[in-house]
Structure 1
Amino acid sequence: MSDDAVPDFIRRLWRLPETPQQRGRKSTLDVETVVATAVQLADQGGLEAATLPKVAEELNVTAMSLYRHIGSKHELLQLMMDAASQPPGPEPAAADWREGLRSWAIDLWTLYQKRPWIPRVPIYRSPSGPNQTAWLERGLSQLASTALTAKEMLSGLTLLSGFVRQSALLQSELEEGRDGQDKAESERDYGAALYQVISAKRFPHLSQVLASEPLGDDPTNDDEPDRDFTDGLEVILDGLSVRISAAAL
């Protein structure tokens, strides 16, 4: 593929040489500077702090001058997400695919805890940048020794990455809703209040759950990722295990 065949957005994601400017004064900006500034603003104040006008103000330029380097506001978000999604250092050798994927998912979860604005970025495209591609490659390497087809491996990673992303987003939104209240206390208050207003006749299963396993009564280990996340992760890995075993027959 020639350089001319590479779409401009992909060129920006991979920091390929930009098309030389034909007229006017040479720009003092580049993709790296614009994206790094936007990521810094998002790290400091969330996604709403990294709008085009705010990035332009930080760089002391006009918002229109940024479009030459980032294409559009949607592309800026994708550039930010990839730049901020650096995979961790060399991964330890995993005993098997399950341990490897568990580690992969927990590392991705940890990234989202460090930068909670990342899962808030709308998904407009499949993973295309170098960092997102590195995450995909690492996930595929855990499944390469199984009998899954290429399509099945990609489907499994799509499911797993979507679960991690949604879990992190849900946790972040619930924390905002608690407004400083302790998680266990908030869950106990929620469970107790809901139990008082529902009827066993109309909601027999939920009523039984609330009566037998009160929310907020299951202590979590502060040294581990959130228990709701890890429990759900194991359910997905259980499902993949069944598929992998069936593929090996």
Structure 2
Amino acid sequence: MTDEIDLPAEVTLLWGLRETVRRGRKPSLTVADITRAAIEVADAEGLAAVSMARVAAQLGNSTMALYRYVKSKDELLLLMSDAALDGPPDLPDGVDWRTGLTLWARGVLQVLRRHSWSAQIPISGPPIGPNNLWWFDRALHALGDTGLTEEDKVGVVMGLLTFVHGELRLSVDLAKGYAENPDAFGRQYGMALTQVVDAKRFPALSKVVVAGVFEGEIPYDEEAEGEFVLGLYLDGVAAFIERRTARQG
């Protein structure tokens, strides 16, 4: 029989294991209600608009009523970040690991781009919420027939998570910048570089400028950019799997 341990506060919150403080009449709210209202505010007005008072108003309740369930805005953001990840789709039977991880990464980005504010929420630790762990499990499952150790699988998926979250943050900001000033991504950028890039100080970048890479208009395509970098990462994973399996053989 294993000894029971005290779970961290974020675990009890995300998994509905926290005992709600009960005072007065029967509670009319749930943590799910509060989380859903917070997401509605963020989707409509942006993450900066989310506060305990604003969410309480969205629900037609007092701010103090929310504190019976959620202790702080930080806890509210934690709930929102997990809820933003809808459940992952089941990967098709028989797909190879690379196809599986590609579909997985595209799926994460597609879901989180529906709630672009999620890119602004700080990540303070490994996945622990139910939705995050569900996606984590599906990615590990995609690596099931690779011959990698369980530790190696975790390393691969954590690296892929780093890519996904970095891509999300960059794509949200860059897409906004492109919408505001598309010229800054093309010829205007190239002309600026020709004026400030010195071949002695920036020899490699200077070759790119001289080659005319930035001379034409460069439309920003967040999906194309993401696919290119994802492909590079998976190429590295393929080489890693080959080395690992060769040693085992």
When normalised by structure 2's length, the TM-score is 0.86
| C-alpha distance in structure 1 between counterparts of 2:61 and 2:156, whole Å | 44
Q: Which residue of 2 aligns with 1:197?
A: 196
Residues 98-156 of structure 1 show CA distances to partners (whole Å, capped at 9, x for unaligned) of: 11111111111112322111121111232111111110011000112122222221121
**Other-structure match for 1:65:** 65
For structure 2, the residue ranges without an aligned partner over 5 or more in a row are: none
Contact 1:188 1:215 in 2 (8 A): yes
Q: In structure 1, list runs of 5 or more residues that go unmatched.
A: none
Q: How many angstroms does 1:213 deviate by?
A: 4.9
In structure 2, the partner of 1:15 is: 16
- Residue 55 of structure 1, CA deviation: 0.7
> Which whole-Å deviations, capped at 9, do the CAs of 1:4-63 have from their partners, x for residues lacking one?
9455532332234x5364542332211011001001111112211222221122123333
CA distance in 2, matches of 1:214, 1:94: 41
How many residue pairs get aligned? The number is 245
For the pair 1:155 / 2:155, whether they are aligned, the reply is yes
- Structure 1 residue 109 corresponds to structure 2 residue 83: no
What amino acid maps onto 1:118 in structure 2? Answer: S
Q: Secondary structure of the residue that 1:117 maps to in structure 2?
A: helix
Cα separation, 1, equivalents of 2:149 and 2:76: 34
Q: CA deviation at 1:205?
A: 0.5
Alignment correspondent of 2:233: 236
Pick closer, same or farther for the CA change 1:71–1:20 going to 2, 3 Å: closer
Give, in angstroms, the shift of residue 217 of structure 1: 4.9
Distance, in Å, in 2 between the alignment partners of 1:114 and 1:97 is: 26
CA distance in 2, matches of 1:15, 1:247: 40
Q: Is the 8 A contact 1:100 1:142 kept in 2?
A: yes
Inter-partner Cα distance in structure 2 for 1:91 and 1:217: 40
Higher mean alpha-carbon deviation, 31-40 vs 167-176, is at: 167-176
CA shift for structure 1 position 166: 1.1
Equivalent pair of 2:119/2:168 in contact (CA under 8 Å): yes
Matches within 5 A, 1:49-128: 49-93=49-93, 95-128=95-128
Deviation of the 1:159 alpha carbon: 1.2
Give SS of 1:128's match: coil
The alpha carbon displacement at 1:221 in A equals: 11
The answer to whether the 8 A contact 2:34-2:66 is kept is yes
Task: Give the corresponding residue for 1:145.
Answer: 145
Contact 1:186 1:216 in 2 (8 A): no
Residues 205 and 94 of structure 1, relative CA distance in 2, 3 Å threshold:
farther
For 2:145, what is the secondary structure of its paired residue? Answer: coil
* Contact 1:220-1:226 at 8 Å conserved across structures: no
Quickly say closer, same or farther: Cα 1:192–1:87, change in 2 above 3 A.
Answer: farther
Which amino acid is 2:81 matched to? M
Any conservation in 2 of the 1:9–1:75 contact (CA below 8 Å)? yes
Q: Give runs of aligned pairs for residues 147-226 of structure 1, distance below 5 A.
A: 147-182=147-182, 186-215=185-214, 217=216, 226=223
Structure 1 segments of 4+ aligned residues over 4 angstroms from their partners: 1-8, 216-222
3-state SS, counterpart of residue 154 of structure 1: helix
Change beyond 3 A, Cα 1:103–1:179: closer
CA drift at 1:216: 7.6
Partner deviation per Cα, 1:166-216 (whole Å, 9 max, x = no partner): 11211211233335333x762332122112221112211001112225238
Over aligned residue pairs, what C-alpha RMSD do you find? 2.7
Aligned partner letter, 1:239? G
- Rounded to whole Å, the distance in 2 between the matches of 1:142 and 1:218 is 39
Structure 1 residues 98 and 216, CA, compared in 2 at 3 Å: closer, same or farther?
A: farther
CA distance in 2, matches of 1:167, 1:121: 14
Higher RCO, Cα 8 Å, sep 6+: 1
